Each structure stands twice: as C-alpha cells, then as structure tokens.
C-alpha cells in the first residue's frame, strides 16, 4: 500500500469483480518506531505513506461507488494519536491524521448519506503483535505487564472484537452514527489508571 498506484488498482479490481463497493475499511499499517530523536525525514515520510496516505487514496478511488450505494467508511486507528507512546512520531502522526480524516470525511460526505467512523485500537492481539512481543527480553513478563493495565477483564482485545465493531459500523444497525471515534480497548484509554491495579 506504500505505492499510490496500488490503491487505485485495488479499487479497480474490486469493482471489476463485484460491480460496487458498499463499505470500505482502512486497516493497513504498522507501528514502525520512527521517532523524533532518532528518526529522519525519509523515514518519517515513508511511514506516513505506510500508515496514512493510502487511507486517503483508497477512499478517494472508492468514493464514486460509495456515493452510488450510500456506503460507509471505517478507519482503523490507534491510541497513540491520543496517548502518545514515545519513539514513534510518524505512527502517532499518521493515526492523528486518520482521526482527523474520519471527522473531515463525515462532514464532507453528509450530502451523500455516507457515514464515516473510526475504531481506536489500544492493545489488540494480532500475529504482528505476537511477533513484536517475542522481540522482548522476557516476552511473557512484558505481555503480563501490558495486560495488567487493561481495566476490563485484564486481557487483550481480540481481532474478532475489532471486526465485530467494524461490521456494526458498516451495517444499517449504526444508521445514525457518523464522525465517531469508537474505542474498542477494554477501557484502556479513558478509564482511570487506578482501575488497572484494583
């Protein structure tokens, strides 16, 4: 997805195969650790292409079909835009951009009846997350320390829980919901930190 032409090609292939697009979920990206102190311009810009630019391009190319179907857009974003993380300026900036585009598109696309929302992810167990944990000196201990800070049930969010929320936001069950940043995170971002130790 870092190649802009790939976004246009992906939408073209979908339209050729299915004839229409009723929903778009922007989800590709990676926390690549391009920070302020040890980063550089090229790495920062590359991270924006890896994590943000294709969100705009896919929505742009899918828009004519979304207009005709009165479809919906769901942008997957990250807590890093709101909480900071340290050492990951580019990823945080990209997610801030995802959140801003969600609100901007919700306004711009009102006239077409297209709803645009975002899911904010905190600690979600995925193959990429599992791979990252294994790079830690003591993976199990690191995972335990992360899970201990998740208020609801002291566990990671599952990919299925993110998918379920995406399906809801794409469906008519959320027919009057737009411009929302919905946190599917077990209370990680907004609940009092004291709860994590309760």
Instruction: State the Cα–Cα distance between residues 81 and 120, nearest whole angstrom.
Output: 9
In 3D, which of 155, 168, 143, 141 has the Cα closest to residue 196? Answer: 155
Instruction: State the Cα–Cα distance between residues 22 and 66, nearest whole angstrom.
Output: 6
Alpha helices in the chain (DSSP H): 4-18, 41-48, 54-69, 80-83, 89-108, 127-133, 139-147, 159-170
Asked about 91 being catalytic, the answer comes back as yes
Residue from 55, 91, 112, 129 carrying the catalytic annotation: 91
Active-site residues: which are they?
Answer: 91
């Amino acid at each position: 997805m870092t190649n802009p032409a790939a976004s246009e090609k992906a939408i073209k292939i979908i339209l050729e195969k299915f004839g229409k697009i009723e929903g778009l979920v922007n989800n590709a990206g990676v926390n690549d650790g391009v920070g302020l102190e040890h980063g550089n311009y090229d790495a920062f810009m590359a991270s924006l292409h890896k994590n943000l630019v294709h969100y705009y391009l896919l929505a742009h190319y899918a828009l004519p079909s979304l207009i005709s179907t009165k479809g919906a857009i769901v942008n997957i974003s990250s807590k890093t835009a709101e909480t900071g993380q340290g050492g990951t300026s580019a990823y945080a900036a990209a997610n801030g951009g995802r959140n801003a585009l969600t609100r901007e598109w919700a306004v711009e696309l009102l006239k077409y009846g297209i709803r645009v929302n975002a899911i904010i992810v905190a600690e979600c167990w995925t193959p990429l997350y599992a791979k990252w944990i294994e790079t830690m000196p003591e993976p199990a201990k690191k995972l335990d320390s992360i899970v201990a800070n998740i208020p609801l049930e002291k566990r990671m969010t599952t990919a299925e829980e993110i998918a379920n929320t995406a399906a809801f936001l794409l469906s008519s069950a959320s027919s009057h919901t737009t411009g929302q940043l919905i946190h599917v995170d077990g209370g990680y971002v907004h609940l009092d930190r004291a709860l994590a130790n309760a």
